[in-house]
Amino acid sequence: MLGYVLDEVFLHHRAPSGHPERPARAEAVRDALVAAHIAERGRQVPVRAATDEELARVHDGAYLDELAKVVPGNTGWLDADTYYSPGTWDAARAAAGSASQLAIDAIDGALQRGLAVVRPPGHHATRERAMGFCLFNNVAVAAAAARARGAGRVAILDWDVHHGNGTQDIFWDDPSVLYLSVHQFPYYPGTGAPTEIGGANASGATVNVGLPGGATDQDYLAAFDHVFVPALDAFRPDLVLVSAGFDAFVHDPLAGMRVTHAGFAAMARRLRAVADRHAEGRMIALLEGGYDLDGVSGGMAEVLAALTATGVAPAPIAPLPVDGPVRGAILATLHAHAAAGHPIAAPPAEGARP
């Protein structure tokens, strides 16, 4: 069973003129999912506000208090990139709360897979700071809710073109949450080096592959097949969460990658297969970035297709490039984890992954 979150409240986070994180993004995704008959493929989950307890699991109390004083009903900026409008407070709390509810429902068995078209996005929000268009870290709230509900291990795969520094920060020293990110590097926010592998209590539980600008579908799939899927198979998550940003799309105005809709589809199918192997199919995708309307709408439609497919055929292993910066980026991650005593297994030499 698929549960999905679509609601007008997320359009009330109103962008200043010219800002790329605008309501049209959610409208475009909504229209694409409606055209793909999402209502026939699952059930709509009502939005709800995150509770104070849910937010406090991943954010500092002083930060939450300051937001509660400044944001509700007002207009302004929390930093040079992150705005708020009169509707932002309700939208942000609904984004975090709805993400949490999907995770709770997955752990409880009320649904198997989930998809949430929420905004503002969340993966740049740290424990104590808003940044990069993000106020609350929605995927972190969802992961913490799943853990509180009884999940032993939660994996977060972040394919947004920008590194999810906030999610990494929140779970840096938590071995029960595996955070994996593929992103353009070096690029905003400047984090996500291959040597960033987790804190003293969670060494190896952070996995970063920073790809050079211009990376293609095959480059991303090489990172998945040679780094992420083996790491996920070793971790054996009880829930797979996806920070699904679509700004690696070939036409996105805020980055320099060359991923197509087919690339996002292939990544989603690989994660669906991981969830089927280890998590009884439990997988939830949350909207993060993506600023080309065709890129974000078509990309999320491909994620819906992967989540609701009757079955996922094994995919051939994408080859590791024989040379060049993409090979170097992937090997840098593998070498960093091996040097720390947490080697990531190689994929099968030939054929398809089971």
Active site residues: 124
| Tokens 């040679």 belong to residue | 226
| Distance in angstroms (rounded) separating the CA atoms of residues 122 and 132 | 9
| Distance in angstroms (rounded) separating the CA atoms of residues 351 and 33 | 34
CA 247 to chain centre: 12
Q: Which amino acid is at 191?
A: T
| Distance in angstroms (rounded) separating the CA atoms of residues 68 and 341 | 43
118: tokens are 């929420």
108: enclosing H helix or E strand: helix 88-108
Which string of DSSP letters, residue by residue, matches 130-172?
A: -BTTBSS-HHHHHHHHHHHHT-S-EEEEE-SSS--HHHHHHTT
Closest CA to 160 of 68, 85, 255, 65: 255
Residue 112 and residue 280 in contact, taking contact as beta carbons nearer than 8 Å:
yes
Which string of DSSP letters, residue by residue, matches 19-53?
A: -SS-HHHHHHHHHHHHHTTHHHHEEEPPP-PPPHH
287: tokens are 């909207």
